[in-house]
């Protein structure tokens, strides 16, 4: 197979080798690659941007039964679930769908409610931004101030381009952050900002995994338009001269969009 080698200027994205990479969450969009050892020693998960999928958070709770999960999403609502249930009720009454399909919609709703009723889950109906501009907004400093005893945290971030606005705060808060999985959006429109963001984060963190979100394409030079990148605090990285060069990684990475071929790329030596 012909490899898609990225330009040398993107070598700053090469992940360093670590021994405990695992996938938390489902085998499509919603799952992220993290270091299991760091998960086991970190009590707090902070999710910025939740959406309709919580498999990553559920897996974290299974590993850490004494943890805290903080959810931030200003768009989260039960209304889409109610609309879906009502849609399938009508289809069922018109004999256009099965009881099993209808029951599945109720089960999804029940699991959603059960997740947010979990004693270790806290939800904040707030938008993440910096600087704060509106009443319903919050920033990294305020988010971290809510963590009990200011203990260490893991971030999962998917906030549709607002990740670029909080990079400085994340770097400044590195002492409290063990690991971060960040979805970077629209690199085609923000390439300079993206590269600058990576450089800032790498002063305190090392990249340990990278994967293309294949819901979108790639630039002419081969760089994916959307990237899922996992950062590990540099204090946990002993060897920084061994890199992983070819992606996706077999038996670890999964296509974000299963119906489309995953985006392959490699880093040059």
Name the helix (H) or strand (E) containing 153.
strand 153-157
The answer to whether 212 and 202 are in contact (CB under 8 A) is: no
| Domain positions in the chain | 8-76+125-266, 79-113
Does the pLDDT value for residue 269 go beyond 80?
Answer: no
Sign of the torsion formed by the C-alpha atoms of 204, 235, 228 and 73: negative
In CATH terms, the fold of domain 8-76+125-266 is Rossmann fold (3.40.50)
Model pLDDT for residues 105-155, shown as the tens digit of each residue: 888 888 888 888 999 999 999 999 999 999 999 999 999 999 988 899 999
Q: Is the pTM of this model over 0.95?
A: no
Confidence band, pLDDT 50/70/90 cuts, at residue 77 = confident
Model pLDDT for residues 206-250, shown as the tens digit of each residue: 999 999 999 988 888 889 999 999 999 999 998 777 999 999 999
Average pLDDT over residues 70-97: 87
pLDDT score of 1: 56
Average pLDDT over residues 50-61: 89
The pairing of strands 32-35 and 21-24 is: antiparallel
């Amino acid at each position: 197979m012909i490899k898609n080698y990225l330009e040398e200027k993107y070598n700053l994205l090469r992940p360093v080798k670590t021994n405990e990479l695992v996938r938390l969450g489902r085998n499509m969009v919603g799952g992220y690659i993290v270091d299991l050892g760091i998960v086991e020693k970190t009590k707090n998960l902070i999710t910025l941007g939740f959406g309709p999928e919580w498999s990553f958070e559920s897996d974290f709770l299974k590993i850490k039964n004494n943890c805290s999960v903080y959810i931030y999403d200003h768009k989260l609502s039960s209304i889409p679930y109610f609309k879906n249930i009502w849609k399938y009720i009508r289809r069922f009454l018109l004999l256009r769908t099965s009881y099993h399909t209808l029951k599945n919609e109720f089960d999804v709703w029940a699991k959603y409610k059960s997740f947010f009723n979990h004693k270790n889950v806290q939800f904040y109906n707030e938008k993440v931004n910096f600087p704060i501009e509106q009443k319903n907004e919050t920033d990294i400093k305020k988010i971290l101030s809510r963590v009990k005893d200011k203990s260490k945290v893991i971030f999962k971030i998917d906030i549709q381009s607002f990740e670029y606005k909080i990079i400085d705060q994340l770097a400044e808060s590195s002492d409290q952050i063990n690991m971060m999985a960040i979805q970077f959006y629209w690199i085609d429109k923000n390439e300079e900002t993206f590269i600058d963001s990576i450089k800032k984060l790498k002063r305190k963190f090392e990249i340990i995994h990278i994967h293309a979100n294949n819901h979108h394409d790639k630039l002419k030079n081969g760089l994916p338009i959307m990237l899922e990148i996992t950062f590990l605090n540099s204090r946990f990285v002993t060897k920084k001269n061994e890199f992983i060069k070819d992606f996706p990684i077999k038996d670890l990475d999964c296509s974000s969009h299963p119906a489309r071929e995953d985006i392959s790329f490699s880093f040059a030596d």
